[in-house]
Amino acid sequence: MRELYKTVDKIIENVDFDKIWTGFSKFNFALYNKDNVYLKDEIIPYDRRFLGNTSIEYNGEFIAIWHVENPFEEDSQILTADLVHEMFHAFQRQHKESRYPDDLIMLNYPDNRENYIVKHSENLLLVNAFISENINAKKSYFKKFLSARKYRENFIGDIIKQEYYTETIEGIAEYAGSMALKQISHEKYIKRINGYVDNLKILDSRFFDIRRMLYCSGAVFCTLLSEIRINICHKIGTKDSPLFSIMSENSKAKKPLIDFDINDLLNQTTKYVNDKKIRFDDFFKTHKDKTDGDFTICGYDPMNMIKTDNMILCSHFIMLKDENSDEPIFIKGPVVINLKNDSYNKVHSYIK
């Protein structure tokens, strides 16, 4: 693990951070496994401050962290790009970024068929803008993309703001990681950006994983803006509006033309809703140990949670704050938490 750390650190030293985003610079980082945390000048025993792949505050500074199970299986160049993504989160936190989404509210994302139809249309328009080689065609598709998304605002309501905030926080960070990879290995960058494009074109269960898809749309959106010479760099912490709102101020809503099989999307939507129900049903077949209490959600893995009614299935972990205790409760998944009525973060029980 120490050798992997040294290799990554050496690669990072050659990344021009300011070229990615004005004012962006290298942050310290940690690699960890279930036993140890590897920092620049020390190794410490693992503790639960190190959860997931993210940015945390450690000893008074923001650092990037990444979980590595087997260092021999890691591609050091890809890992470096992923760490730059997390370093951008450290950069955002350092500069008091305020445009964060609320992932728990995002779990209430409606299974609205018209929304999904227009969302897939706008994904395709974004792809067409990105892959077009003619600059005028790029700008034309881009304008249609902005209008289609503006149109979708009219019937999905305020929750679309959670999409915009996610795209602002995670999409820009994914763009930062991709631009670092472009400096490190152009071949791997092309493979990654083509992967984003392919994800935006798909129409299967992955399409409904809204949060993950916003990483792709955000990265492609930022890259496209750069290609058509629109400056996306702004001083983090000085803007209240999400990136899309800033870039679409002069756009008008317009319903997009539908040039794909709507029945296919409707069938996929039905399957997605049914599959969610099956996952809950399967959980309750083997998990029946219920704990009642008065809790507030204080930690979670947003990539591995699904919701139906007032129940959230957490496949990785959840952290709850007991109203009668100062110490948070760490519960390894799978676990289902039962929310109080009309609340998105207050919990009356959980089932293991």
Measured in degrees and rounded to the nearest 5, phi and psi for residue 299 equal -165, 145
pTM: 0.93
For residue 63, give the amino acid letter.
Answer: I
* 311-314 sheet: strands from edge to edge: 305-308, 311-314, 335-339, 346-351, 290-300, 317-322, 328-332
Cα 322 to chain centroid distance, Å, stands at 28
Which of 83, 42, 81 lies closest to 65 in space, CA to CA? 83
Contact between 112 and 155 (Cβ < 8 Å): yes
**What per-residue confidence (pLDDT) applies to 157?**
87
Ranges of residues in the chain whose predicted pLDDT is under 50: none
Helix 135-156 and helix 210-227: axis angle, to 10°? 140
Q: Identify the pLDDT of residue 352.
A: 95
H helices present in the chain, as ranges: 2-13, 17-20, 76-94, 103-106, 113-131, 135-156, 160-166, 172-184, 186-201, 210-227, 243-247, 262-286
Return the pLDDT at 47.
92
Dump the DSSP string for 193-240. HHHHHHHHH--SGGGG-HHHHHHHHHHHHHHHHHHTT------TTS--
The ranges assigned to domains in the chain are: 2-94, 103-263, 287-351
Q: Collect all residues with Cβ–Cβ distance below 8 Å to 336 and sequence separation of at least 6.
A: 280, 283, 284, 287, 311, 312, 313, 314, 350, 351
Q: What does the pLDDT read at residue 181? A: 98
